Amino acid sequence: MSRSIDQTSPITLSSDAIKQGLRTRWLGQPAIFSFDVVESTNTEANRLAQEGAPEGTLIVAEAQTKGRGRLGRTWVSPPGSGLYLSIILRPAHPADWLPRLTLTAGVAVASAIRQTGTTPQLKWPNDILIADRKVGGILTEAVFDRRRIDFALLGIGINVNTEQEELPVSIRNLATSLRLGLGKTVSRLHLLQALLYQFEQWYESLNTGNFAAILETWSEFDTTLGRVVEVFLPEKKVVGVAEALQSDGTLLVRDKRDHLHRIVAGDVVHCRLDLSSDLKA
């Protein structure tokens, strides 16, 4: 994108402002719903999708009162400083295809953020980091018809111009914003337009069977592979080295007994200490 993503654009994300200069072919083209405040853009997206809203419908809010993260967490969504959006998708795929969508969105978000002048890191499966602190996250939800996806809701949250004081004390040393990382204000509008453009491109790669290209780009941003990780699964915890991503996007973790665990979904914690000697013991 040739245009700068520095702050030069309108303060509010109205649907008219978003449409102007949007270079997508279908994403955001059926309709853009722009709200001052909602409980959660994913909740709005679900309502609209149940009513039949087509693929590419975009929901954006200035603030969320009940922003959701993965695993029942809260996504703090103060007004006017972050990007909070959901995209309705209707992929003709079985349920086990969904993790690919999250990784694809991560690549799109990272590619768009890179245009602001900083290269983010991707932490498997859904976190976007700057200098090891969380700046964005992806929440993929779906409704199924038997074992196939009826519709998917791709929720994306990015702390763009969020100030330290807007983040809860409990996460201040774990989270950041683009502005805090870059030391300058970033245009939410231009970042959103860049993100939509990137996602459309990568989603088309995904749909034409080129997930390998997405994984290759993921690895340019990856910060999980090669690390010692703790993976919290519903029934157990796995500790080991994150060894590789498989061709379907699942994570392979090798534990100290040399067992390989294939992680489809879970809460991954990067261990700060180098436990590799412990792992080899």
List residues binding ligand BTN (CB under 6 A).
Answer: 40-42, 64, 67-70, 73, 75, 84-86, 126-127, 137-139, 155-157
For residue 88, which of 137, 41, 20, 25 has the smallest C-alpha distance?
41
Residue nearer to ligand BTN on the CB measure, 155 or 249? 155
Paired tokens of 58:
């975009």
* CB of 35 closer than 8 Å to CB of 132: no
Q: How far is the CB of 276 from ligand BTN (least distance, A)?
A: 27
Place of tokens 């990137």: 198
DSSP H or E run through 194: helix 188-207
Residue nearer to ligand BTN on the CB measure, 126 or 250? 126
Q: How far is the CB of 260 from ligand BTN (least distance, A)?
A: 26
Paired tokens of 176:
């950041």
Residue number of the CB atom closest to ligand BTN: 137
Helix axes of 211-221 and 188-207: crossing angle, nearest 10 degrees: 140
Q: How far is the CB of 255 from ligand BTN (least distance, A)?
A: 25
Question: In a 10 Å sphere around its CB, with 0-12 CB exposed, 13-18 middle and 19+ buried, how is residue 92 labelled?
Answer: exposed
Residue nearer to ligand BTN on the CB measure, 136 or 240? 136
Q: How far is the CB of 261 from ligand BTN (least distance, A)?
A: 22
Residue nearer to ligand BTN on the CB measure, 42 or 275? 42
Q: How far is the CB of 77 from ligand BTN (least distance, A)?
A: 6
Residue nearer to ligand BTN on the CB measure, 70 or 261? 70
166: left (phi over 0), alpha (psi -120 to 50) or beta: alpha
